[in-house]
Structures are given as structure tokens and as C-alpha cells.
Structure 1
Amino acid sequence: METQFSSSTADTKQYIWAKHLRRCLTLSSSIAMSDLLAVIMVASLPWSTTITSIFSALFVLSVCPRIRIEELIDLVRRSRSGFAVGLFALALLGTLWATDVPLADRLRGVNPTLKFLMMPLLLYHFRKSSRTVWILWAFLGSCTALLVLSWVTVLVPTLTPTASLQPGVPVKNYIDQSQSFALCAVVLAWPILELIRSQRVSLAILLLALSIAFLLNLSFVVLARTALVYVPIMLFFFAVFYLPRSIFYGAIVCFLFLVGSAWLGSSTLRDRTNSILLEYSKYSVSNEITSAGMRLEFWRKSLASFREAPVLGHGTGSVQMVFDRAAQGQTGLAAQSISNPHNQTLSVAVQWGLIGCTMLFTMWLGQLALFRGPGFYPWLGFIVIVQNIVSSLFNSHLFDFVPGWIYVIGVSLAAGMILQRADRTFQI
């Protein structure tokens, strides 16, 4: 009798362990599939809007079946990503009071915020994944391939894929390319420093050469003028947070020397910088249409429309309507209209007023606070947000495709890894 009972107990334990093992293997395989989809999604980001969209949808389908709602809610709270979801909810609600805006325009206004719904799902996945480094290598490798092709099309302009693209910009546009190249160049600063400290000099030199290649492309091939602002700020934050004070001032002097050398050697850098001053002077003394002048005019009109509806704004998708109305009966610059004011805060303010601006800045500041402390992932999350905040002074980069996805993926990955390590430490 005792023998039968012991055998039965052993069989039950064996069954439980086998069931647990099968569940773990199934979960592991589903996480691996999500990792693969995320790799393709991230690798395609600098190249193709369509491929990124398709694989982001497949990623959602792969993650949703294994989500535990209580765990997801806890992660959203800890990562402050609820404010990103809140921006989407506000955009959806904003369609209700945009009564003067056609329905199609209202739905188009919601579309740029859809990516914010991905943040909790990406966070949920990255917190459990052991392969997040694949995502980092995928983006770096993809940008490196684009860097090589950029240099090739400069040297052989006839290889530029279409007539609508300029040599050095083989796909998409120079703003997205500059955003990606600058992020890679600056993010690499942390592993380079750590490799030097651990005396792995060969790999450090290789990554340093790659970082310099990205910066040289920005200096000598093609440069978004916004990068003239955010690249120095990003590098300054790295120097402040990570360089010993004994070499901090020397690094500043070295940086200024390199900037001066690039200025003297690069007509691209000089032309892009001088064009800002030239266009601003034309705006201030005449009605001539220039890029900088148009941006300043859009900001002026945005502030005027914000004063008309300061609390709730004009509703989702209302920017084009507001600008069309302001352009009526005008000439020159004042007659220009657009659906994007080229400033993230103003884009939010026009559509959703103070409520939207409060949610936007709460999201930025709340997530910045998450990335305090040493380590690569705090550095990654912090610098992705800094780049987005600074570049959003001159563009609506949260709502633009490539910069917006860089923010969503970069912040989610960094936050997921930080929470993963925090949970492991707590368990120990």
C-alpha cells in the first residue's frame, strides 16, 4: 500500500514537472519569436516604413497571448509609460470636439499616436527577454549598412536609387537619416568608455571608428540642421555624467578643436549653419519664403490658435484647418499653410491645449527620472529622450515615423531591462 502511494506521488510530481517544463519551453519559444519579429522591425526602421509597420503588427500578435493584465498594469505604472498611452487616449477623445474638422482628418490626427500603444507591449516583452542585445545590434548594423550606402552614393551619385533622393540619402530623407546616425554615434560613447576601462582596446577602437564615421557623414555628406543643436547637447551630457573630472575639460577642448576642424573642412557644415542665419534675416526684413521663415511663421500662428482654445485645444487633426483659416486673405509667408507646425509642443497645444501639453511634459520628465544612475541602459533611455526633446523643438518628432519609433522602442527597451534587473536583484 505504501509502495503504491509513493509511486503515485512520484508520478504526480513527475507530471507536474513535465507540465511546467512544457510551459517553459512554449513560453521560451514564443519569446524567441517575438525577439525575431522585434529584430526585423528595428532593422527595417531606417529603411522602410511598410516593413516596420507590418512587423510591429506581427509583434503585437505574438506578445498579446502571453500577457497577464495585472503584471502589465504594474509595469506601465513603474515605467511611467501610462502617459504615452494617455496621449493616444487624448487624441482619440479629441476627435469629439474637433467638430469643424472632416472625419478623415481627425482619424489621420489619431494615427501618429497609435505607436504609443506599443510601449506597454514592448516593455512587457523586453522585461522578460534575454535577447534584447539582438535589438541593439540589429539597429546598429542596419544604420551601418545605410552609412556605407550613403558614402557609396556620394562617391557614385548615379547609384542613388531615385531622382527624388539626393546623393548621400539612399532611402527616406536626410532628417530621419541624421536622427539615426547621430543616435548611434553618441550611444556608442558609453560602451567605448567601458571597453577602454576594461582594457579591451581593439574593440573600443573599432566602435570609436564607427562612431566617428557616423559623425563624419553628418559633417561632410548631409546634415539635418536640428542635429547642429542636439548632437552637442547629447555629447555634453555624456561628458558630464561619465567622464572623470580630470579629463572633462580636456575633452571639451578636444571637442571644440574637432568642431573647428570640421567647420573649416566641410562646406556642407558651413552651408547648413549659415543658411539658418540667412533665412532668419530674410524673414525679419522681408516677406520672402524660406524654410526657417516658414517655421517661425508656423510657430506664430500656432501660438495664436492656442490662445483661442487654451484648455482643450481645437481637437484632433485640427492643425491644417487652423492654418488654412489663418492663411486666408494673406500673401507671402503668411499665406502658407501646413498640417505640422514643426514643434512638438505646439502641435500638441493646438490640438489638445494645456491638458495635452501637461501630459506630454509629464511623460518626458517622468521617463527621464526612470533613467537615473549608472549603466548602459539608463544611458540609452536617457539619451533617446534628450534627443527627442531637443529635436522636437524644431519638429514634431514624436508624431513623425522614424524619430517617433526610435523613442518608443528605445525607451521601452531601456526601461524593460532596468525593471528586469531590478526584479532580479529584489528576488536575490
Structure 2
Amino acid sequence: MIELTLSKRFGFPLGRDARFLCADVLAVLAVVMLPWSTSGFTILLLLWLLSLVPLISTADARPLLRVVTRPYCLLPLMMFVLAVVGTLWADAPWQAKLLGVKPLIKLLVIPSLVYHFQRSERGSWIFIGFLSSCTLLMALSWIVLFEPELKLTVTQSAGVPVKNYIDQSQEFALCMVALAPWTVGLYKERRYCATAACAALMFGFIANLAFVVSARAALIYVPVLLIAFAVRYLDRRQSVLLLVAVSVLAATVWSTSDYLRKRVADIRTEYEYSKNNVPKSTGMRLEYWQKSLRFFADAPIFGNGTGSTQTLFEREAVGKTGLAAEVTRNPHNQTLNVAVQWGIVGIVALYAMWASHLLLFRGDGLASWIGLLVVIQNITSSLFNSHLFDFHEGWMYVLGVGIAGGMTLRERRRLATPLASSTSAVLQSERA
């Protein structure tokens, strides 16, 4: 469609390079739109998928087949297949079964992303676009904190111009930690102006999480991401210095941020309410987890089937009040969400997929670092949410793994090519 439009406009057919450029621009626009608009992102993503059709149809099928059969692409596809097959034994309405399959459709995009960005040279555009988009959102977040009427949509939290505070926290925390290696690297190169700019941007994200709005799960996954940074980039002495700096910063934030202290104190308050059978966030999660464990114990091997979670909670709530009467189709824990529907088989598939993606990003470089952060953040935040199945966080995972995975494989191939060429030259000289 895009090729036809441009061909009519300019009077010539698009070549392969132009098609790649169109696809890459659409990918950048989709990622830039993700923090702002669900519908806008979806439209741009569909256009990107359509732009791949001529590229894939004219390419050799063997590279695509090799990508699809690798664990990092095959396991997400198996997760989707498991969800589809799981509808066969679910004792739930078909509408609920389809709703159970829907969150896993996004996993089908991972092979396309990996395959395309293994060939594209513009993967870094995606990360720059996402960082720029989140930076603009962060600036607007500070503005609407003091001028709420400037919000772009109606949101429940102050300082959240669009969507919700959980999505915003996930984005800002990822950008903040992702910038850390560049800040250190620029300082070592004595590029002090660039270092100051990166540090200021990091501080802006930190301050927004501490003083404006943040998800409480960020208190868990941000330290884990910082540990990943220390393990990957710092020696023992530098890690100790980072620990001291983070401790001082945390103490300063804790003593100055009434918002953060209240967020933490609310955990105990909500738990106390739950003991009085009053539905609050902390108590509701505990209730969901306890019931989900029972549902899992009733069908431990293959689970209760796709889309069965809400039906199970509805049956359990009959004749009860308060917390016990709460009904959900999301237990707010990724492992339990999978366990209830597909049992041990689903848990093994989920953790095998996470493990394959962690192994994919075990190398060095920009793409491997960002991909590693995306996977670690998703695993950690999924202790308190079902973020792989949620729209925003789920797409952050799919895009991060797919794009960074393709870039990582491209870099490995580039590094391996000179070695293969030199080996071939040595063998030819020996034969001569």
C-alpha cells in the first residue's frame, strides 16, 4: 500500500532500499507513539507489518526460517499455540477464551521484528525515538503536575498526562537505567557537556518517579536494573561507589519526598483494611494470589484452560462479600496468570522463553544492553503484575526483544564475518 502510494506520487517503483526505509520509519513512528496513544500505536504497527510483505516476499525464505526456528522466536510462538490449544479444555464461555488468547497475539510479532532488524541498519533509530518520546512525556508530566488542565486525556493520577502511572513508570525507569552506560562512557571520554546532558536526563526521570508519580513495583525493579548495570559495566570498586551513591540518593529522596513515603506507607494501610474485609490494592493482590494457587493446585499439569480465570473467580465469589467477592481475570502475577490457565506446562514455557531471551542478550553493545534491561524489567515487574499480557508493558517487551534481538544478531554476524574471511584466507594460503 505504501509502495503503491509513493509510486503514484513520484512516478517510479520503490527499490529495496526505499522499502526498507519506509519500514524503518514506520517502526520508529510506532515506537514513538507507544507512550502516548494505544490506537495510534496499533495503526502504525499494522502499517509496519504491511510494509514488510514486499520485503519478505522477495527475500530468500531460508534466513527467515532459521530465525523462526531459534528458541528466542520459537518459544513465543509456542506460548501462543499453547493458549490456542488451551481453549479446548477450558470450562468458560468462548468470549472469555478469546480474551485469554488475545494478550498472546503480540508474541507472534517477535520473529518479524528479529528478522527485519537483523537486516536493517536503523535499529538505533528506534531507541533514540523512544527515549525522545519519553523525555517529552516526562517534561509534560512535570507541567501537568502543576497545571492539571493541560492533560491530554483524563487520567486518575496527578502528573500523568496520558494513560496511567504504571505505564509511565515502566517507561521512565527503563530509560533512566538504559542511559547509565552512556553517561559513564562519555565521562571517560571527557565529553563533559554530553555527560552532563545524560546525567540531567537521568536525574529528571529519577525525580519524576520520586516526586511526581510512580508504581510501587518500581521500588523493586529499579534496584534490580541497577544491579544488572553494575554487574555488566562496573568493577568491584566502582560497584561499591555506585552502592554508596544510590544509598545517599535514596536517603535524600526518602527524607524529602512526602509522596514516596505515603506510597510505601499505603502498603501497610491497605493490608490493615484487608484484614477488615475491605477491598484495597495490597489486600486484593493477596486474595488473588491465594485463590490462584488453589486453582492451580486443582489442575497442576495442564491448568484450567485459556480464559478460565474469571470464571473460576466468579464461582469462588458466590455468596461472599468484601475481598472474598472480588472477581478478576488478572491475578496480578505473571506466573500465577499462566499457572491457572496452563499449569506446569505453561510455567515451563514462560520461563523457557524468558531464559532464551536473557541468553540472547548476553553479549556486549547497545542492543544487548537494552534487550537485557527489557527482559529483566519484565520478569521483575511481573511479580506484581501480568505485564507480559498487559498491552503497554507487553508491547514494550515484544518491541524491545524483537528489535534489540535483531540488532544483536546483526552485530554478531558482522563480527564473525572478518574472522571467517581471515580463516578462509589462511586455508587458501596453506593449500597454495
TM-score scaled by length of structure 1? 0.91
1:285-364 to 2 correspondence within 5 Å?
Answer: 285-364=275-354
Q: Residue in 1 aligned with 2:8?
A: none
State the AA in 2 paired with 1:340: N
| Cα distance in structure 2, aligned partners of 1:105 and 1:393 | 24
Q: Is the 8 A contact 1:190 1:376 kept in 2?
A: no
Q: Give the C-alpha shift of residue 163 in structure 1.
A: 4.6
Asked if residue 154 in structure 1 is aligned to residue 145 in structure 2, the reply is yes
The alpha-carbon distance between structure 1 residues 178 and 108, as it changes in their structure 2 partners (threshold 3 A), is same
2:64 is the alignment partner of 1:72: yes
Please state how far the C-alpha of 1:400 moved relative to its aligned partner.
0.5
Separation of aligned partners in 2, 1:383 and 1:367: 11
1:55 is aligned to 2:55: no
Inter-partner Cα distance in structure 2 for 1:78 and 1:349? 25
The alpha-carbon distance between structure 1 residues 65 and 161, as it changes in their structure 2 partners (threshold 3 A), is closer
Q: Residues 131, 368 of structure 1: CA spacing in aligned structure 2 closer, same or farther, 3 A cutoff?
A: same
The equivalent of 1:201 in structure 2 is: 192
Letter in 1 for 2:75: F
Secondary structure of 2:15 counterpart: helix
On the 8 A contact 1:160/1:167 being kept in 2, the answer is no
- Residue 385, structure 1, aligned to residue 375, structure 2: yes
The 5 A counterparts of 1:12-411 are 26-67=15-56, 68-78=60-70, 80-98=72-90, 100-283=91-274, 285-411=275-401
| Aligned-residue offset at 1:25 | 7.3
> Normalised by the size of structure 2, how large is the TM-score?
0.90
Structure 1 unaligned regions, length at least 5: 1-23
Identity %: 47
Q: Which runs of 5+ in 2 are unaligned?
A: 1-12, 419-432
Question: How far apart are the structure 2 equivalents of 1:154 and 1:147?
Answer: 11
For structure 1, which segment, 62-71 or 83-92, has the greater mean C-alpha deviation from structure 2 after superposition? Answer: 62-71
Provide the secondary structure at the position in 2 that maps to 1:32. Answer: helix
Residue 403 (structure 2) pairs with residue 427 (structure 1): no
Task: Check the 8 A contact 1:79/1:415 in 2, yes or no.
Answer: no
Q: Which amino acid aligns with 2:364?
A: P
Paired with 1:151 and 1:257, the residues of 2 have a C-alpha distance of 24
Question: Contact 1:225 / 1:273 at 8 angstroms: preserved in 2?
Answer: yes
Partner amino acid, structure 1, of 2:293: L
Q: d(CA) in 2 for partners of 1:161 and 1:38?
A: 24
Answer yes or no: is the 8 Å Cα contact 2:80–2:104 preserved in 1: yes
Alpha-carbon contact 2:71-2:353 (below 8 Å) kept = no
Please tell me the root mean square deviation across aligned C-alpha atoms, in Å.
Answer: 1.5
Q: Which amino acid aligns with 2:357?
A: Q
- State the distance in 2 between where 1:89 and 1:69 align: 22
CA distance in 2, matches of 1:39, 1:163: 26
Q: Which stretch of the first structure deviates more once superposed, 77-86 or 383-392?
A: 77-86
Equivalent residue letter for 2:37? S
Q: CA deviation at 1:115?
A: 0.6
The superposition leaves residues 391-418 of structure 1 with CA deviations (integer Å, 9 ceiling, x where unpaired) of 0000000011111111111111211111
Corresponding residue SS for 2:89: coil
Indicate how the Cα distance of structure 1 residues 161 and 55 shifts in structure 2: closer, same or farther if over 3 A, else same: closer
Letter in 1 for 2:373: I
